[in-house]
Structure 1
Amino acid sequence: MTVNSDNHATASTKKRRLLSSIRDFGPGIIAVLAMMGAGDLVTASVSGSNYGYSLMWLLVASLLIRFVIVNIMGRYQVLNLKGQSIVEGYNDVSRFYPWAIGIAALISGHLLNGYMIRGAGEAVAKIVTIGDPFLWSCILVLASVFVIGRNVYNTIEKGMKVLLAMMTVAFLGLAIYSVPDIGGLIRGTIGFGIPDNTGAFGVFAVALSLIGAVAGSMANFLYPYYVRDKGWKGAAFKKLQRNDILFGISAAIVISLSIWVVGAEILRPNGIQVSSLDDISQALTIHLGSVGGVIFYLGAFGILYSSVVGFANGFPKVIIDCLHIVRPQRREQYGSKFENDPLFKWFSLFILISPVLWSVPGMPGFVTMAVFVTGLQAIIVPLVAIGLLILANKSSNFGKHRANLFENIILVATTLLTIWVTVQVIVGWFAG
């Protein structure tokens, strides 16, 4: 009896510790949702509907890349010996990096929010069936100006997560209901094949977009700042930080895999090639009717709008950090809190307001923009991976927490894979 009681007490203690750890999670989920945005939604559905499971190996590789890169960045924020931010660490690698990262963050914030805002406007227009998508994009941007930087956003963010959860459950249920081709899924995962071009987007353009959307590129830099805001610093937080991002990546796997399966098993057999939000929504509409369409657009709005405000708040932190490294007198003047620098507000407003230009009627469509912008993001990946490879192995910065052999292999392979796919896309452009 005593033994059983002890075992029960031990199990209860472990359960409480697990629940406590999950409650502490946050930066990883927020960062992964910000990294994903609509990128995973679009690339997974386009890949599944156009190429079945042939590019599944790229999804697996990209998710692995995302975990390794973001985990090292988060670990650096928690454990580096100099108390530096990740951009300060990159500055130790080369004085060129703060300039490159700052400029890339500004451009990425603008372009990423460009298709996020356009898609959010389209989603609202479909839900309320009143008004033009461009009008709703403008209204959402205007509303965001009053939300950003205020406590009310925390409440809105929780609501967006509920909407995203609804869509995820619907896609997950539909993926299971569709009875995925397990053999095809396995072959696509281990086959490392590149199929022939079909559909509206070339296979290498889709592959590059998949790497950019899933591997994360510049959006990877947001995670260390979320960790910093959480106050995680020191060896005591190492395991929590790793499990946090692992939990976030696991959520990304469920979402991406579900959407991919739905694209391959429902959209593709029905001859639906994804070129708009409407095409993706048909996956739910076919089986759930008009209710499925509403669920999709609510979920799409949740993931899009939360990313809009998340980017407008996250990217300026990276930019200001870069600016303070290049102009250290500004850090002396305004302190280490990025929001205290007056330019933080202006960068935030630029990333929030300027992208509405991409919502003007006649501009490229939402899916076209998503594929192009996420593909463009992938071009930055080698710059990020090479710098991280050097930084993660500097004992003067990382001490005993340097990158292990597996992480180094992934960073080298990431650089080579991205360069190869980019070259193929460029060759394809010239050949076409």
Structure 2
Amino acid sequence: MKSESSLNHDLHQATADSGPLPPQTIGQKLKMIGPGFVVAATGVGTADMITAIVIGTSFGMTFVWAIIVGAILKYYLNEGVGRWYLATGQTILQGWHSLGKWATNYFGVYSVIWGYIYGATAAMTCGLGMHAMLPIMPIWAWAIVHSLVGFALVWTGRYLLFERIMTILIGVMFITIIGTSLLFLPSIGEFTGGFVPRMPEGSLMLALGLIGGVGGTITMASYGYWLKEKDWKGKAFVPIMRLDTKAAYVITGIFTMAALVIGAKFLFGTDVKLEGDQGLLDLAGLLGQEFGTPLRWLLLIAFWSAAFTSLLGVWNGVPYLFADFLRTIRTKKEELHKVKPVSEKDKSYRAYLAWLTFPPMLIFFLGKPVQLIIIYGVLGALFMPFLAISLIILLNSKKVDAEYRNKWVTNAVLIGCLLMFAYLGLNELQKLF
């Protein structure tokens, strides 16, 4: 526990850095939270929904514990990114660059290939959801519309508007998926039974996939930039950042739990097979047949909201990383602290935003090149282990004041993250080759 004098010093430092004073009361803190919701909403996409529903369909309420573990792991990763920024004043790219050129070069290659494939995938998923609700245009046309809307919203450079829209969509996701799950509430015994860690035969990879997929994507690395946009500066903001992240992953856990409940109570014991994004649309149809059209629409709206929040979060967050990457490799290390922070108005930020939006449209018509998909899969499988190991190194280094370095619990969790993501990554690489 920090001493009162230490807290006062941090408050004084926040003022000295020309940033606002952090909130002092719980009410003030709750009013300020937001960046964590953006990260979590971006990470919780349709893939997480379908994974939870499929596991519920196959194993009932057995894996409640896995959702809780996944939310805890992602909390520590997200908190680590935020703590690095607030405790050092450096971006995560600067941290990676301090590890050696290999780290920044890895991210540079990753971001270009990942952005091209994800730009198409995210837009097509949005198009799939909208086409199911309003089949007045083909899926590819709706995909283009969503890409352009995301581009236009982010191009304005108004973070608070972006955060407000994301918050509204999070509310829509929460109401629709929670509302649907209320029809299938499990008994207290069924629910609490899922708290006991069990691994039925044939469930290992599904369980690890559920743990690894609870609200986690590359946009976790964007958290520091969103903190900057909220004008959270200095060590005094670490407590509010932690509250922000905890609130976000509690909501994420509840959301994923609701999807598990739907699968466990509606489809468990049936022969229904759900696969990919189309599986969610098939589920919406089944719910409509059983309970009427309104419930079908509820799930379709939840599907679309999850897809569009993921698109908007990436369109806003990953360009920060790319712009910072270019700035970092172009600037001498000793000069980096003098350079103006990256913003949504930077040319490199907007160039990457355009890269996410326009070139991927070719994939709508030409298909995905096999070689590109393999490279994308390799880099994607290695990113989360890369993030975990970099946080372990950076947050135990002398670059961070002793009181803000990792404690043993944090190190243990991050090492657990590293081992799990490395195992998942190797499994994905085996599938590719």
> How big is the shift at 1:375?
10
> How big is the shift at 1:214?
2.0
- The answer as to whether partners of 1:161 and 1:303 remain within 8 angstroms in 2 is no
- The answer as to whether partners of 2:319 and 2:352 remain within 8 angstroms in 1 is yes
Match of 2:103 in 1: 97
Q: Does the alignment pair 1:346 with 2:346?
A: no
Match of 2:391 in 1: 388
Residue-by-residue CA offset, 1:188-207 (whole Å, 9 max, x unaligned)? 4433415327xxxxx62x45
When structure 1 is superposed on structure 2, of 297-306 and 417-426 the one drifting more is 417-426
Match of 2:420 in 1: 417
| Change in CA separation of 1:384 and 1:162 when aligned onto 2, cut-off 3 Å | closer
Alignment of 1:190-209 (within 5 A): 190-193=196-199, 195-196=201-202, 204=205, 206-207=206-207, 209=209
**Structure 1, unpaired ranges of 5+:** 1-15, 198-202
When structure 1 is superposed on structure 2, of 39-48 and 282-291 the one drifting more is 282-291
Residue-by-residue CA offset, 1:14-38 (whole Å, 9 max, x unaligned)? xx93332211111111111112233
Name the aligned partner's letter for residue 178 of structure 1.
F
Match of 2:266 in 1: 266
Match of 1:6 in 2: none
- The answer as to whether partners of 1:53 and 1:188 remain within 8 angstroms in 2 is yes
- The answer as to whether partners of 1:212 and 1:377 remain within 8 angstroms in 2 is no
How does the TM-score come out when normalised to structure 2? 0.81
Distance 1:302 1:255 in 2: 13
Distance 1:170 1:283 in 2: 16
| Change in CA separation of 1:218 and 1:152 when aligned onto 2, cut-off 3 Å | closer
| Change in CA separation of 1:422 and 1:309 when aligned onto 2, cut-off 3 Å | closer
Q: Does the alignment pair 1:179 with 2:185?
A: yes
Alignment of 1:107-146 (within 5 A): 107-146=113-152
Match of 1:71 in 2: 79
| Number of residues of Structure 1 aligned to a counterpart in Structure 2 | 402
Match of 1:337 in 2: 342
Residue-by-residue CA offset, 1:130-164 (whole Å, 9 max, x unaligned)? 12111111222233333322268865764564454
Match of 2:36 in 1: 28
How does the TM-score come out when normalised to structure 1? 0.81
Runs of 4+ in 1 over 6 A off after TM superposition: 329-334, 361-364, 372-376
- The answer as to whether partners of 1:120 and 1:137 remain within 8 angstroms in 2 is yes
Superposition CA RMSD, Å: 3.4
Residue-by-residue CA offset, 1:394-418 (whole Å, 9 max, x unaligned)? 1333432101111100111111222
| Change in CA separation of 1:271 and 1:154 when aligned onto 2, cut-off 3 Å | farther
Distance 1:186 1:45 in 2: 18
- The answer as to whether partners of 1:217 and 1:377 remain within 8 angstroms in 2 is no
Distance 1:244 1:124 in 2: 31
| Change in CA separation of 1:176 and 1:75 when aligned onto 2, cut-off 3 Å | same
Alignment of 1:236-315 (within 5 A): 236-275=236-275, 276=278, 277-282=280-285, 284-286=287-289, 288-315=291-318
- The answer as to whether partners of 1:109 and 1:312 remain within 8 angstroms in 2 is no
**Structure 2, unpaired ranges of 5+:** 1-23
> How big is the shift at 1:168?
2.3
When structure 1 is superposed on structure 2, of 231-240 and 144-153 the one drifting more is 144-153
Alignment of 1:346-365 (within 5 A): 346-360=351-365
Name the aligned partner's letter for residue 100 of structure 1.
Y
Residue-by-residue CA offset, 1:236-274 (whole Å, 9 max, x unaligned)? 212111101111111101111101111121133443322
> How big is the shift at 1:107?
3.3
Distance 2:106 2:142 in 1: 34
Choose the corresponding residue for 2:93, options 84, 87, 91: 87
Residue-by-residue CA offset, 1:318-345 (whole Å, 9 max, x unaligned)? 0111221111179799842344542222
Distance 1:180 1:111 in 2: 39
Q: Does the alignment pair 1:213 with 2:213?
A: yes
Residue-by-residue CA offset, 1:58-97 (whole Å, 9 max, x unaligned)? 33322111000110111111122xx211221222233321
Match of 1:231 in 2: 231
| Change in CA separation of 1:157 and 1:286 when aligned onto 2, cut-off 3 Å | farther
> How big is the shift at 1:424?
4.6
Distance 1:375 1:207 in 2: 21
Distance 1:344 1:116 in 2: 19
Name the aligned partner's letter for residue 265 of structure 1.
K
| SS at structure 2 position matched to 1:395 | coil
Choose the corresponding residue for 1:170, options 158, 163, 176: 176
- The answer as to whether partners of 1:178 and 1:265 remain within 8 angstroms in 2 is yes
Match of 1:319 in 2: 322
- The answer as to whether partners of 2:377 and 2:432 remain within 8 angstroms in 1 is no
> How big is the shift at 1:358?
4.7
| SS at structure 2 position matched to 1:379 | helix
Match of 2:222 in 1: 222
Match of 1:5 in 2: none
Q: Does the alignment pair 1:19 with 2:22?
A: no
> How big is the shift at 1:217?
4.2
| Change in CA separation of 1:273 and 1:354 when aligned onto 2, cut-off 3 Å | farther
Identity rate, percent: 22
| Change in CA separation of 1:362 and 1:103 when aligned onto 2, cut-off 3 Å | closer
When structure 1 is superposed on structure 2, of 187-196 and 257-266 the one drifting more is 187-196
